Amino acid sequence: MTSRKKAVDFEQKLNQLESLVNDMEQGSLTLENSLKAFEEGIKITRECQQALKEAELRVDMLTRDSDSPTEFVPEKD
């Protein structure tokens, strides 16, 4: 069930990022709000990159030739 929650969180993060980009592209934000949106976008991008990295490691682990599967435990920053 946790992996399903993580997948939903990833999709939600991508939607948030898309919304931020749309707001910034409209050009109606103040400089201060643009900077806040940019900062939030960077944070979301890093979270998405980390989720993708963990997914890639998990796929790699699952597709390796081995007799018994091992559970994936993501690294904490």
Burial of 23 (0-12, 13-18, 19+ CB in 10 A): middle
The answer to the question of residue 4 being in a domain is: no
pLDDT digits (tens, 9 = 90+) for 49-71: 998 999 899 888 888 866 666 67
pLDDT at 1 (0 to 100): 45
The answer to the question of residue 2 being in a domain is: no
pLDDT at 47 (0 to 100): 92
The whole-number average pLDDT for the span 41-56 is 93
Residue 44 structure tokens: 């979301």
What is the domain count for the chain?
Answer: 1
The answer to the question of residue 75 being in a domain is: no
User: Cα 33 from chain centroid?
Assistant: 22
The answer to the question of residue 5 being in a domain is: no
The answer to the question of residue 3 being in a domain is: no
Domain around 27: 10-61
pLDDT at 70 (0 to 100): 65
55: Cα within 13 Å, side-chain hemisphere? 11
The answer to the question of residue 66 being in a domain is: no
pTM here?
0.69
From the list 70, 9, 17, the residue with the least C-alpha distance to 40 is: 17
Average pLDDT, the chain: 85
